[in-house]
Structure 1
Amino acid sequence: MRIFKPRAARAITAVVAVSLIAAGCTSKRDSGNKSGDRKDTFVFAGAGDPGSLDPALASDGETFRVTRQAFEALLEHEPGGTKLVGGLAETWSSNDKGTVWTFNLRKGVKFHDGEKLNAKAVCANYDHWFHWKGTYQSSAVSYYWQTIMGGFAKNEDKETPEPNYKSCTAKDEYTVVIEVKKPSANLPGGFSLNSLAIHSPKAIKEYEKQEATAKGDAITYPKYSQEAGVVAGTGPYKIVKWNKGNKEVVLERFDDYWGEKAKIKKLIFRTIDTEEGRRQALQAGDIDGYDLVAPADVKTLKDQGYVVPTRDVFNLFYLGMSQGANKALKKKEVRQAIAHAIDRENLVKTQLPEGGKVADQFMPDTVAGYSKNVKQYPHDTAKAKELLKKAGEEKLEIEFCYPTEVTRPYMPAPQDIFELLKADLEKAGIKVKPKPMKWAPDYLDATESGSCALHMLGWTGDFNDGYNFIGTWFSGYNKQWGFKDKKVFDAVNAGSKMGKLEDRIAAYEKANEVIMDYLPGVPLSSSPPAIAFGKNVNPPKVSPLTQEIFAEASFKK
């Protein structure tokens, strides 16, 4: 999941946009009590607003943080890890080709609206997604369906991928068979995505009465996805309110949950867009936890007695280059010069938490498929100047977009990082034209459409397969990068068609070598993002995929 995923950097409707709260300010909670006085409400602060209450329409981590508590997929990941385990399906299997997937569902599972989970309910979801029309076919709306299953029953745009989804069959009441046309490295991992979580068939009928619409690049999402009351999953919490004015989503414990019940009755997700504001809110007792702790705050909070676990490294931060936005970037020497100009070791040392690593390819070294033989681009300002001269671009001017009002797991302080990269580039003789942009929707729209020559983005893996990283960006033409190179595309896609894990890993290693020789952008770093909780909190297991389940959290007695 991108916590925020780069290709998943999609437009968020202006309907969702509301004014930002000031750093450190929080709205008065329902109970009116501070953290230490309250045992029935848990308040957690994220760095951004969710975009939708329907995870099928989402691609960003702030949305999934909320929806993951209310919706469950066929498969899940073990708490705190990346191993696939049963979700709504107790067991699963596939044929030798990986084209027929059989799921044995749990019995006695209810949706929040009282409907019963069975095989027909699962197929109602997959067929609903497959038959999307109009704006729902936009990659900004159905990013994950297209990533995992391809296109639709009737594609309406020539750029939409061919559908790989074939059918969903209710073999019996609790046995589901999902068929795809070709094997894919995205399966079975894709069955664990919150975007493919299962909704009540009763709710789906209501969804289908509404449309998403688009005007230019601006998407207006359907009303049901912007207000609580219609969406219904099977999770330990149900969504009961979205107070956009106070930037809060309220969830309540679902007492008919099939598994272990949530330990706390009410769960509130609140947006506080600055690191300082989130820290101050925790210290004041206004919230019980928050994500994306500033590296400099980790030791301070620990010394004060707060619980500050650090997730394992499972992300990648990069400098993106759009060849469509600046023709100079079509020259390999220019891309190489930019890579040599950047001091990645200094970036890691000064901007990232302890445990941060310099990246030399487009996946972290914790993912199988990482290669030790990629071409290296060490920091060398003189080399950068030499390459620019060779390319005839000694007076290169380039626009550099960077996001504001946001913090990401891979990018703790965007403006500080931008200033550092800008200084490195200017030392090499590149004139940088800064372009600050609000994260959502402006920055995400601009990077997605390829209008930002240089930009900063990253990715937190959805599941543990190398294709989930390199395939996200380089499996084919992507406006964000604006290049077409068959050698790169073929190398990236080779592994996705292989059934044996060892063969896929070897193919991913080769693909990383091809990518880094072409150099479409500059991988910068990987980092272990920290998450903080109050002194009186027993936190949930933290996840390298940032997939924490807050039903596990409780207050100390």
Structure 2
Amino acid sequence: MRRTLAGAALFTNGLGTLMRIDRIRRRSTVAVLLGLTIAVVASACGGESTWVSKSPADTLVVGLYTEPTAVDPQREYFWETFRASRNVYEPLVQEVLSSDQGVTKLAPGLATAWRPNADATTWTFDLRKNVKFQDGTDFDAAALDFNVKRFTDPAFEFYDEKSAAMLKARFSDLTGTRIVDDHTYEFTFTRPYLGFPRLLAQSIGSPLVFSPAALRKYGNDGLSEHPTGTGPYRWVERKINDHITLEKFDGYWGTAPKLKRLVFRTIANNQSRLAAFQSGEIDILTRVQPTDVELLERQGASVPKGTAAQLDYVSFLFGNKWSQNPRVREAVSLAIDRKGLADNIYSGHAQPLWSFLNPGNEAYDAGARNYSYDPEKAKQVLAQAGLTPNQVSFNIIADLAGQPEAEAISADLKKVGINAPVVALERGNYSSRISNPQPDDGFHLGEYGGTYPEWALEGFNSTVLANGGDKFVDYPAITRALDAARYTSDENARIPAWQNADKVIAADHAVIPTVNFTSYYAISPKVRGFVFANTNWYDLGPVSKEN
């Protein structure tokens, strides 16, 4: 699923700052068009633009390509939401985002240490002392227990079914929790869970910690309007489909951030977002269009290279008769020219993928070749299944951002005798369509991934099981392989087991990876300290900005 961020809110210490940020918020259509004109002229001339920042030096403005969801750590989804909310809320365990090399390392967050028992069924966490929530209340084991009960205990006064549904996948084997003392907490599971610490550092489905006092005051539905955590920035305001504003939290337990204020602006249109970046209205541009990379670099912007921890993939809609056919799925996989997608559709700012375990993942193997490109073999597979050219016909569903890739895949399929027209929809209608597909809808393009090997399980569940595929793939074999990886208590066997599960999924062509993006953010020359780590968000704490 394609992820995005939202714009944010205003807060100032002085009328002058307020007016400057307000001008950012109220930028007129004329200004956007002017920015576009500047971009066209700069492109035509090949010249460099004069970079400015229209926000104060202590304020960073990030341009997001989609609106964040509820800023509630147990209800939120979309990476764009987490890119903003992780500055307010914190996890027990976090990933180090200060390097762009290799798999992100784990580090203490609100827990200073963690340890499993002999078979990794019980995890004990030593909690950080002297930590305050942004409302002045204390973080301790009781506060953590309140957070956990909200999504695990139906008898709890503040139990929340929405939170329980969001966190169910990662806590389905939880059998009990225990407050050992004021700063020690235990989780107990029915089976070994070696992946638990890294899963705690993720966005969707992981319990970042909120203030119990805030939830008591505002209720389950009100927390997202009054986010209160322990992070380096506190919540100021939000204007839906416009911006979110955060301000430095002076009571933060850790290293103080360098900036006073963060503003996350939602600018869904690619050209408008580009123009806002070039004109200095935003300092970081999210989801750079591949055709804009060289232009921006000529103009002096930085477009850092990386992989994040994502992948694009074909997700079959198993209500369609052709998606139910394993030979058709195999032919689709063989027909897709992944290198052509990376080189042509993404102008070389992507790489072909041959594994469902994405770059940046603990279990990613760059040498794995679980999928292949062989259009002649694709034709043979269809012929051996008794299918004639153009007999196989179905729709490809894509959102507007994924339409170029979908059109290229459609052309690849046409070459092997599969007729697959593209139905491209704006994000809301796209989500509705894949949740309620038409009989002729064969597959849709998804985007997700993570640094944790359990992504293979979550990806299989969300793409195959959620789309009714358990009856049309070798579900028993895939489940055995996934369970063997998930429930091993042997740390040395864990990564090889996940890599084997990836091969089993690929053998049935249950889901098909395509590419991974390698250019995703553009950074103003005024910004210092931004790192494109190999995950799907960033750390803005060390980031600063020049006048």
Q: Deviations over 1:238-259 (max 9, x none)?
A: 1221111x52111111111111
Residue 500 in 1 paired to residue 466 in 2?
no
Residue in structure 2 matching 1:251, options 243, 246, 250? 246
CA contact (8 A) 2:530 2:543 kept: yes
Alpha-carbon spacing, 1:379–1:132, altered in 2? closer, same or farther (3 Å): farther
**What residue in structure 1 maps to residue 40 of structure 2?**
none
Residue in structure 2 matching 1:80, options 73, 87, 98? 98
Alpha-carbon spacing, 1:247–1:122, altered in 2? closer, same or farther (3 Å): same
User: SS at 2:469's partner residue?
Assistant: coil
**What residue in structure 2 maps to residue 202 of structure 1?**
213
- C-alpha deviation, 1:434, in angstroms: 2.7
- C-alpha deviation, 1:355, in angstroms: 6.0
**What residue in structure 2 maps to residue 460 of structure 1?**
449
What is the letter of the counterpart of residue 234 of structure 1?
Answer: T
- C-alpha deviation, 1:236, in angstroms: 0.8
Residue in structure 2 matching 1:168, options 165, 177, 181? 177
**What residue in structure 2 maps to residue 101 of structure 1?**
123
CA distance in 2, matches of 1:375, 1:69: 38
Taking the TM superposition and a 5 Å limit, the aligned residue runs for 1:155-234 are: 164-194=173-203, 195-206=206-217, 209-210=219-220, 222-225=221-224, 227=225, 230-234=226-230
What is the letter of the counterpart of residue 318 of structure 1?
Answer: Y
What is the letter of the counterpart of residue 250 of structure 2?
Answer: D
CA contact (8 A) 2:463 2:511 kept: no
Q: Deviations over 1:310-341 (max 9, x none)?
A: 23353221111122x21122221111111222
What is the letter of the counterpart of residue 453 of structure 2?
Answer: G
- C-alpha deviation, 1:71, in angstroms: 0.3
**What residue in structure 1 maps to residue 263 of structure 2?**
268
CA distance in 1, matches of 2:362, 2:129: 35
Q: Which runs of 5+ in 1 are unaligned?
A: 6-11, 13-25, 151-163, 211-221, 407-413
- C-alpha deviation, 1:65, in angstroms: 0.9
Residue 239 in 1 paired to residue 235 in 2?
yes
**What residue in structure 1 maps to residue 142 of structure 2?**
120
What is the letter of the counterpart of residue 171 of structure 1?
Answer: V
Q: Which runs of 5+ in 2 are unaligned?
A: 7-20, 32-51
CA distance in 1, matches of 2:329, 2:80: 32
Alpha-carbon spacing, 1:176–1:368, altered in 2? closer, same or farther (3 Å): closer
CA distance in 2, matches of 1:552, 1:529: 21
Residue in structure 1 matching 2:309, options 303, 307, 314? 314
- C-alpha deviation, 1:57, in angstroms: 0.5
Residue 396 in 1 paired to residue 392 in 2?
yes
**What residue in structure 2 maps to residue 334 of structure 1?**
328
User: SS at 2:514's partner residue?
Assistant: strand
CA distance in 1, matches of 2:505, 2:434: 20
CA distance in 2, matches of 1:30, 1:328: 48
CA contact (8 A) 2:60 2:283 kept: yes
**What residue in structure 1 maps to residue 519 of structure 2?**
529
Alpha-carbon spacing, 1:361–1:450, altered in 2? closer, same or farther (3 Å): farther
Q: Deviations over 1:192-214 (max 9, x none)?
A: 2344111111123246x44xxxx
Identical columns (%): 26
CA distance in 2, matches of 1:353, 1:176: 49
- C-alpha deviation, 1:132, in angstroms: 5.5
What is the letter of the counterpart of residue 56 of structure 1?
Answer: Q
CA distance in 1, matches of 2:85, 2:210: 11
CA contact (8 A) 1:369 1:507 kept: no
User: SS at 1:59's partner residue?
Assistant: coil
Q: Deviations over 1:154-198 (max 9, x none)?
A: xxxxxxxxxx22233222222222222222244111222344111
- C-alpha deviation, 1:86, in angstroms: 0.2
Taking the TM superposition and a 5 Å limit, the aligned residue runs for 1:472-487 are: 472-474=459-461, 478-480=465-467, 482-484=469-471, 485-487=475-477
**What residue in structure 1 maps to residue 57 of structure 2?**
39
CA contact (8 A) 1:471 1:493 kept: no
Alpha-carbon spacing, 1:466–1:190, altered in 2? closer, same or farther (3 Å): closer
Alpha-carbon spacing, 1:136–1:310, altered in 2? closer, same or farther (3 Å): farther
CA contact (8 A) 1:374 1:517 kept: no
What is the letter of the counterpart of residue 424 of structure 2?
Answer: P
Q: Deviations over 1:96-149 (max 9, x none)?
A: 2112222222222111111111111011101111135999546xx655511210
CA distance in 2, matches of 1:474, 1:131: 24
- C-alpha deviation, 1:537, in angstroms: 1.1
User: SS at 1:455's partner residue?
Assistant: strand
CA contact (8 A) 1:336 1:377 kept: no
What is the letter of the counterpart of residue 385 of structure 2?
Answer: A
Q: Deviations over 1:507-554 (max 9, x none)?
A: 222222221111113211223233122111114332211221223221
CA distance in 1, matches of 2:202, 2:321: 37
**What residue in structure 2 maps to residue 290 of structure 1?**
285
What is the letter of the counterpart of residue 330 of structure 2?
Answer: Q
CA distance in 1, matches of 2:237, 2:55: 23
Residue 70 in 1 paired to residue 88 in 2?
yes
Cα RMSD of the aligned pairs, angstroms, is 2.9
- C-alpha deviation, 1:447, in angstroms: 3.1
**What residue in structure 2 maps to residue 305 of structure 1?**
300
- C-alpha deviation, 1:481, in angstroms: 5.5
Alpha-carbon spacing, 1:241–1:376, altered in 2? closer, same or farther (3 Å): closer
User: SS at 1:550's partner residue?
Assistant: coil
CA distance in 1, matches of 2:413, 2:347: 24
CA distance in 1, matches of 2:230, 2:518: 31
Alpha-carbon spacing, 1:551–1:129, altered in 2? closer, same or farther (3 Å): same
User: SS at 2:264's partner residue?
Assistant: strand
CA contact (8 A) 1:318 1:523 kept: yes
What is the letter of the counterpart of residue 169 of structure 1?
Answer: R
**What residue in structure 2 maps to residue 509 of structure 1?**
499
Alpha-carbon spacing, 1:223–1:399, altered in 2? closer, same or farther (3 Å): farther
Query: TM-score of the superposition, structure 2-length normalised?
Result: 0.83
- C-alpha deviation, 1:506, in angstroms: 2.1
CA distance in 2, matches of 1:183, 1:449: 36
User: SS at 1:328's partner residue?
Assistant: coil
CA contact (8 A) 1:251 1:268 kept: yes
